Amino acid sequence: MLFLLRPRQTWMPYALPRPPEQQAAWNAQLQQAYASTRVVEPAPPRDTVADLKDLDQLHKTGTLSDDEFALAKAKILGS
């Protein structure tokens, strides 16, 4: 015969519930820690002149048609 002796469980496998105000403070602390990792740096400002020069080079090589060039130019200039 095999007897398995199991010691009496003297601890709870999970934490006891916290009071609501303490739980709210804990949740706010976790949310703030998470939010601090989610900060995205703003993109650097684009150089409009360089973009127009690149676009003009594409137009001169024949990669862009006149209509595509005009559309892309208007998009860069924001009009």
Q: Summarize pLDDT for 38-54 with one digit per residue, the tens.
A: 888 888 888 899 999 99
Residue position matching structure tokens 């303490």: 22
Tell me which residue of 41, 58, 29 sits closest to 76, measured CA to CA.
Answer: 58
Asked if the model's pLDDT at residue 1 lies above 70, the reply is no
Domain ranges of the chain: 48-77
Q: What is the pTM of this model?
A: 0.45
Of residues 3 and 77, more confidence is placed in 77
CB of 46 within 8 A of CB of 54? no
Rg, Å, the chain Cα set: 32
- Per-residue confidence (pLDDT) for residue 56, from 0 to 100: 94
CA quadruple 68, 71, 53, 46: dihedral sign:
negative
